[in-house]
Structure 1
Amino acid sequence: MRMIKLLALLVVLFWLGDTFLSWWDFAAGYNDAMISRDPVAGLRVRPIAVQECDSVFNKVLERKVECAVSSVRVGVKPSFMRYVQTVVTLLVCLFFLYGCWCIFRLIMRVLRGEVFTRENVRRMRFFVYSTLLLYLMMEVNFYMDYHLAASQVELTDFAVLPYSPKYIRPSYLLLALFTEIFAVGVKMKEEQDLTI
């Protein structure tokens, strides 16, 4: 039990540190984005034909070196559906904040020694599924921005590469799997307590 309490305390510390760093990066990116009034999307590109390479000056080598363009950041005009998607994402963010509150309460319960309870299962489910839903909504936002930018920008020397997911990973489903395994374990513990 002491190991579980120590791990719970470490989770709180790492989670707070990660949250602080994430918000710091978000604020820096938000401030940069506010300089231009248009939403910005990044497109992955490749040259259409073999062309002469661009070059940039390298101060250490004191000469120009070859460079290649692999992505382009462009301003886009959002569609009506993108605005609707933003509103839905904000609602999902509220659900995620409630999930964060639930996981905080779960960790506090674990620190008190209450581990295998139905309330902890419910809290874990709120956190895990709200996190997965938030990742899904962020992926949809990036997908819409990417395709808006690809449809609005005309690149003569470059071809736009297909969209590649940023947030959807099969490993995230492990969180849901472990939560459901924990729920089955709690149910088995309750049944065992009733038979004794």
Structure 2
Amino acid sequence: MKRRLNILCVLVLLVLGYSVAVTAYYMGLGMKAGVEASQEIMESSDKEAMESFRKLEGMEYIGLIPRSLNQGVMKLLSDSIYNEKSGEYVPVMYSSMAVSVRTNRSWVSSAASGVLGLLTFVAIVWAIVLFFKLIVAVNRSHIFNWQNVRRLRRMGLLLIAGFGCSLLSCYLSVCSLREVLVLQNYDLSISDLVSTTILVIGLTALIVAEVFAIGLKLQEEQDLTI
């Protein structure tokens, strides 16, 4: 039983770790690209290098939703991309892309996005720490107790809070982009920018916590009747 439970716990931990690792990976790529661009500009006063840095500085990752969802397949596949295998352009429909555009974001909005990103990271890391403590308690045969119920509740609330912060950060980013960017066949969306995996795991943790709490209350009532 413990072995099976440990395997399931490891799988959940891998999912959480993957979510954090993907976010950290793309953040690292962005920081690396920024450092490399800064070094190129310091080594060269070329105008082309300056222009490349400005493009990189304004890079935004956006989610897209086609405007013509009910106007047939050809309206959906209104864009094209070059296929090097066949040597021809093939129709495509974009769901997300990276775009370089200057936004008129205020310092309040930028600071809020930074704080929300930090809160998301802290919430997920804290939830992972609580999950580790839960695994340790289970392996020590301390399973059905109120401390584990509190851990599960806190873990669920932290994951939901992390999802909420991430969602709000993406919403602020999309709102600022909509002021300066309008695409011909698409509307900006946040559907592909926020992963719902963290939200699902958080809700599941809350459900399991309530199941544990009901079981403990029934056990306490049974002990009192005896």
* 1:84 aligned residue (88, 105, 112): 112
Higher relative contact order (CA 8 A, sep 6+): 1
Deviates more, 1:97-106 or 1:26-35: 26-35
Match of 1:189 in 2: 219
Aligned residues: 192
Letter aligned with residue 62 of structure 2: G
Q: CA deviation at 1:31?
A: 3.4
1:160 aligns with: 187
Q: Deviations over 1:23-49 (max 9, x none)?
A: 443343123333323351304154689
The equivalent of 2:144 in structure 1 is: 116
Give the AA of the match of 1:38. G
Q: Give the C-alpha shift of residue 16 in structure 1.
A: 4.4
TM-score (norm 2): 0.67
> What letter corresponds to residue 219 of structure 2 in structure 1?
K
CA distance in 1, matches of 2:203, 2:17: 25
Asked if 2 retains the 8 angstrom alpha-carbon contact of 1:45 and 1:70, the reply is yes
Question: Equivalent pairs: percent with the same residue?
Answer: 24
User: What runs of 5+ residues in structure 1 fail to find an aligned partner?
Assistant: none
Out of 96, 99, 118, the position equivalent to 2:127 is 99
Determine the structure 2 residue equivalent to 1:143: 171
Does residue 42 of the first structure (1) align with residue 62 of the second (2)?
yes
1:26 aligns with 2:56: no
The alignment status of 1:13 with 2:10, answered yes or no, reads yes
TM-score (structure 1 length as normaliser): 0.76
Q: State the Cα RMSD in Å.
A: 3.3
